[in-house]
Amino acid sequence: MATIKKPRKKRFLTDEEKAERAERLKKAREARAANQQPKYEYVHESVRNLPDDAPLSRKNVTEWIKYQKEKLSAARQNARRKDAPKGADQQVADIQGYIRNMERYLRDGDWCDDFWGKEGTNKTRWRAVVNAYHHQGPMKGMIKRSVGIFYPDLGVEWTREMDDEYYGPYRAPSERSSTVSGKRRRTRRKKTA
């Protein structure tokens, strides 16, 4: 059979002891707060090391996330209404995607959205990190280039004029295949009696 413990008597502190312990606790809290800065371990090191005034700093992006979450709650309310405007659900999905991309940036350090900023209105300028090459055809072995991408080997952003000069007559044919005509195929139907 288990033994039953006797309850201890509660010890009452005097006012002097309470004041002393409160003072000691206050000093310990102040010392710990002075030595301990937030570590932000959930933020990628490359983002953590950016200064606060950088456009994509942790401070700015967390503010944008907070703003977008407020905007999301308003958009959700708007989408739930009976007389919701056309495209309200799409607006909710766009905001959710933008928030998800910003959170991924904080976690991984890679901005993967085409836009940035509080409202997501600034266009992202892409940069080629590694060159890609054409693997077949008359351009085989030449570097692939796309309009609007910054190439460090050139030191400039690739423009439409540069593209026309580079590819010239070797431009890829249009997307539409020559075997497909614009006509519908006729189907034979059996006559029912």
Beta bridge partners of 162: none
pLDDT of residue 103: 96
pLDDT of residue 188: 67
Task: Evaluate if residue 69 carries a pLDDT over 50.
Answer: yes
* Among 63, 128, 137, 146, CA closest to 102: 63
Examine residue 190 and state whether it is found in any structural domain, yes or no: no
What gap in Å lies between CA 118 and CA 68, rounded to an integer? 8
Average pLDDT over residues 13-39: 88
For residues 8 and 184, the model is more confident at: 8
103 lies in the same domain as 143 = no
pLDDT of residue 97: 96
Examine residue 186 and state whether it is found in any structural domain, yes or no: no
Average pLDDT over residues 63-89: 93
pLDDT of residue 23: 96
162 lies in the same domain as 116 = no
103 lies in the same domain as 133 = no
139 lies in the same domain as 165 = yes
pLDDT of residue 179: 47
Q: Domain containing 117: what range?
A: 45-123
Mean pLDDT rounded to a whole number for the chain: 86
Number of domains in the chain: 2
Taking each helix axis as running N to C, give the angle between helix 88-108 and helix 58-80, from 0 to 180 degrees, rounded to the nearest 10: 160
Examine residue 70 and state whether it is found in any structural domain, yes or no: yes
138 lies in the same domain as 116 = no
Average pLDDT over residues 75-104: 93
Task: Evaluate if residue 92 carries a pLDDT over 90.
Answer: yes
Tens digit of pLDDT for each residue in 96-143? Answer: 999 999 999 999 999 999 999 999 999 998 899 898 898 888 888 888
Which of 88, 123, 158 corresponds to the end of one domain?
123
Tens digit of pLDDT for each residue in 131-186? Answer: 889 888 888 888 899 898 999 999 999 999 998 888 887 665 543 444 445 555 56
Q: Residue 146 in contact with residue 118, Cβ under 8 Å?
A: no
pLDDT of residue 5: 86
116 lies in the same domain as 152 = no
Examine residue 34 and state whether it is found in any structural domain, yes or no: no
Examine residue 68 and state whether it is found in any structural domain, yes or no: yes
The pair of structure tokens assigned to 56 is 């994509």
pLDDT of residue 177: 43
79 lies in the same domain as 131 = no
CA angle (123, 67, 104) in 5-degree steps: 60
Examine residue 108 and state whether it is found in any structural domain, yes or no: yes
Examine residue 149 and state whether it is found in any structural domain, yes or no: yes
**Percent residues over pLDDT 90 in the chain:** 51
Q: What's the predicted TM-score (pTM) here?
A: 0.63
